[in-house]
Structure 1
Amino acid sequence: MHQLEPFVREAGTGPGVVCTHSNASNSGQWRGLMDLLAPAFRVFAPDSYDSGKSPAWPSDRVISLRDEVALIEPVLARAGSPLALVGHSYGAAVALIAALANPGRVRAMALYKPTLFALLDTETPPPNEAEGIRNAVANAGIALDAGNKDAAAEQFIDYWMGAGAWKHTPDQRKPPIAASVTNVRRWAHALFTEPTPLAAFRALNIPVLYMVGKRSTPSAHGVARLLANELPQVELVEFEDLGHMGPVTDPETVNNIIARFLARV
Structure 2
Amino acid sequence: MERVQLNGADVAYDVRGSGTPVVFIHGAILSDGFVPAIEQTAIAENFQIVHYRRRGYAGSSRAAAGMTMQEWADDSIALLNHLGIASAHVAGHSFGAGIALQMAIDAPGRVRKLALLEPPLGSLVASGGQFAQWMATVREIYDSGDKITATDMVLAGAYGPDYRRFTDGALPAGAFERAVSDIDTYFQVELGAMLRWDITTEGLKDIRHSVLSMRGSDTLPVFLEGADLLQQWIPEIDTVSIPCASHDLPGRNPAAVATGLVEFFTT
Superposition TM-score tier, normalisation by shorter sequence: 0.7 to 0.9
Deviations 1:52-74 (A, max 9, x none): 221111x3x42211121122222
Please give the secondary structure, in 1, of the residue aligned with 2:239.
strand
1:67 to 2:108 alignment: no
Distance 2:84 2:60 in 1: 18
Q: Structure 1 27/168 Cα, relative in aligned 2: closer, same or farther at 3 Å?
A: closer
1:118 to 2:123 alignment: yes
Deviations 1:180-230 (A, max 9, x none): 222333222211220122111222212111111121111111211211111
Q: Structure 1 172/104 Cα, relative in aligned 2: closer, same or farther at 3 Å?
A: closer
Could you tell me the TM-score, scaled by structure 1's length? 0.87
- For structure 2, which runs of at least 5 residues remain unmatched after alignment? 1-5
Please list, as runs of the form range in 1=range in 2, the aligned pairs for 1:197-236 lying within 5 A after superposition.
197-236=200-239
Quote the residue 1:53 is aligned against.
Answer: 59
Please give the secondary structure, in 2, of the residue aligned with 1:136.
helix
Please give the secondary structure, in 1, of the residue aligned with 2:77.
helix
Instruction: Answer 1 or 2: which has greater strand percent.
Output: 2
Deviations 1:67-126 (A, max 9, x none): 211222222322623311011111111000011111122121111111122323xxxxxx
Residues 9 and 55 of structure 2 are in contact (CA less than 8 Å); yes or no, is this contact kept in structure 1?
no
Residues 138 and 153 of structure 2 are in contact (CA less than 8 Å); yes or no, is this contact kept in structure 1?
yes
Segments ≥4 residues shifted beyond 6 Å: none
RMSD: 2.4
Quote the residue 1:125 is aligned against.
Answer: none
- For structure 1, which runs of at least 5 residues remain unmatched after alignment? 121-127
Alignment equivalent of 2:176, drawn from 171, 174, 177: 174
Distance 1:203 1:92 in 2: 17
Q: CA deviation at 1:260?
A: 1.6
Quote the residue 1:238 is aligned against.
Answer: 241
Q: Which moved more, 1:32-41 or 1:7-16?
A: 32-41
1:149 to 2:147 alignment: yes
Quote the residue 2:133 is aligned against.
Answer: 135
Distance 1:148 1:167 in 2: 22
Distance 2:24 2:84 in 1: 11
Which amino acid letter does the alignment assign opposite residue 160 of structure 1?
Answer: A
Alignment equivalent of 1:188, drawn from 187, 191, 198: 191
Q: Which moved more, 1:175-184 or 1:30-39?
A: 30-39
Residues 137 and 188 of structure 1 are in contact (CA less than 8 Å); yes or no, is this contact kept in structure 2?
no
Q: Which moved more, 1:36-45 or 1:24-33?
A: 24-33
Q: CA deviation at 1:131?
A: 3.4
Residues 23 and 91 of structure 1 are in contact (CA less than 8 Å); yes or no, is this contact kept in structure 2?
yes
Could you tell me the TM-score, scaled by structure 2's length? 0.86
Residues 12 and 60 of structure 2 are in contact (CA less than 8 Å); yes or no, is this contact kept in structure 1?
yes
Quote the residue 1:90 is aligned against.
Answer: 95
Q: Which moved more, 1:70-79 or 1:139-148?
A: 70-79
Please give the secondary structure, in 2, of the residue aligned with 1:135.
helix
Deviations 1:123-164 (A, max 9, x none): xxxxx4013431332122211221111111122111101235
Distance 1:240 1:28 in 2: 18
Alignment equivalent of 1:13, drawn from 6, 13, 18: 18
